[in-house]
Amino acid sequence: MLEVSHVKKNYGSLTAVNDLSFSIQPGEIFGLLGTNGAGKTTIFKMILGLLEPTAGQILFNGKKISYEDVDHIGYMIEERSLLVKLSVMELVLHYGALKGLDKETILERLNYWLKRFNMESYLDKKIKELSKGNQQKIQFITSIINNPKLLVLDEPFSGLDPINTQKFVEVIRDFQKQGTMIIFSTHQIDHVESFCEQLIVLEKGIPVLQGKISDIKKDFKRHNIRLIGD
Ligand code: ATP
C-alpha cells in the first residue's frame, strides 16, 4: 500500500504541494488531474524518493521508500530523458539491469511488449530515429519491464492517438489485475472518467476535489472540468 499523509513541498517561498493525503491499495488505479504547474510532477518525485517532502510523509508498504524498493517500482516521468543514442534493445537492457533483472529475462519481456505494441521490428532501431509516439511506447515499456508493484506514470497519454491510448489503458489494466498499485497524472478528464477508482483534482498544489469519480463528479463543473458531452 502507498500512503501519502499531509504532504507539503515548498520550493523557496512557493508552495508547490500543500497538505496532500491519499492512499493506494494493490490493484487500484489512482488519478491526479491538474493543469500545468498544479504540482503533479513534484508529487511523483516525492513518491519516488527523488525529492524530500517539506512536511508530511510517504510510506510504501509501511516504510519510507528506500533504495531496494526501486526494483519494485516502475516510473515514467514527464521530463523524458531517453538515452537517444541507444537502440531500443540497449535502452531497455540498461533500465532492466538498473532494476536488477538479468539479460535473458529483460529480452524475453521486451520481445513480448514489442509484439503487443506492434513494434517487433524496432529492436535495433536507435531511439532518436523513432517517432514521438513510439518513443513514448518504449518509455512505457521501460517502466513496466520489472513487473512493478507500484507504477507511477506522469502524463502517460499525452500526445498519444486514441488507438495507442487504448493500448496503454489495456496494459495498465492488466497490471491492475495482477495487483499493481497505479498512479497517473493527466490534464484531460476523458482519460480518467472510465479509468481510475479514485481521483484528486489539484489546483496550484492544493487538492480541491478528492474521492471516487462517481462521488465528486457533481462538483466538476464548479472547477471548470468538463466531461465529454457536457
Ligand atoms: P507540468 O505538467 O507543467 O509539469 P506539474 O503539475 O507537474 O506541471 P510541477 O512541475 O510539480 O507541476 O510544478 C509545480 C510548481 O512548482 C510550479 O509552479 C513550478 O514552477 C514549481 N517548480 C517545480 N519544480 C521547481 C523547482 N525545482 N524549483 C522551483 N520551483 C519549481
Q: Show the cell assigned to 172.
A: 495498465
pLDDT in tens, 35-74: 888 899 999 999 998 899 999 999 999 998 887 888 899 9
- Ligand 1 centroid to Cα of residue 16, in Å, is 7
Q: Cα–Cα distance between 201 and 139 in angstroms, integer?
A: 26
Better-predicted residue by pLDDT, 162 or 81? 162
- Ligand 1 centroid to Cα of residue 154, in Å, is 13
178-188 mean pLDDT: 91
- Ligand 1 centroid to Cα of residue 107, in Å, is 36
Residue 227 has pLDDT above 60, yes or no: no
Residue of 35, 41, 157, 185 to mutate, ligand 1, most atoms within 8 A of C-beta: 41
pLDDT at residue 226 in the model = 62
pLDDT in tens, 99-124: 999 999 999 999 999 999 999 999 99
Q: Cα–Cα distance between 29 and 25 in angstroms, integer?
A: 9
Q: Closest residue (by CA) to atom 18 of ligand 1? A: 37
Q: Cα–Cα distance between 103 and 149 in angstroms, integer?
A: 21
Cβ atoms within 10 Å of 228's Cβ, excluding its own: 8
Compute the C-alpha angle 17/23/27, nearest 5°: 130
Instruction: Indicate the SS3 state at residue 39.
Output: coil
- Ligand 1 centroid to Cα of residue 14, in Å, is 10
pTM of the model: 0.91
pLDDT in tens, 7-39: 999 999 999 999 999 999 999 999 998 888 889
Cα 208 versus chain centre, distance: 21
Asked if residue 2 lies in contact with residue 63, where contact means CB atoms within 8 angstroms, the answer is no
| DSSP letter string, 68-120 | GGGGGEEEE-SS----TTSBHHHHHHHHHHHTT--HHHHHHHHHHHHHHTT-G
Asked if residue 30 lies in contact with residue 198, where contact means CB atoms within 8 angstroms, the answer is yes
Q: Which residues contact 75 (CB under 8 A, 6 or more apart)?
A: 44, 48, 143, 151, 152, 153, 154
- Ligand 1 centroid to Cα of residue 41, in Å, is 7
Q: Closest residue (by CA) to atom 17 of ligand 1? A: 37
Ligand 1: atom nearest CA of 187 is: 2
Q: Cα–Cα distance between 198 and 55 in angstroms, integer?
A: 23
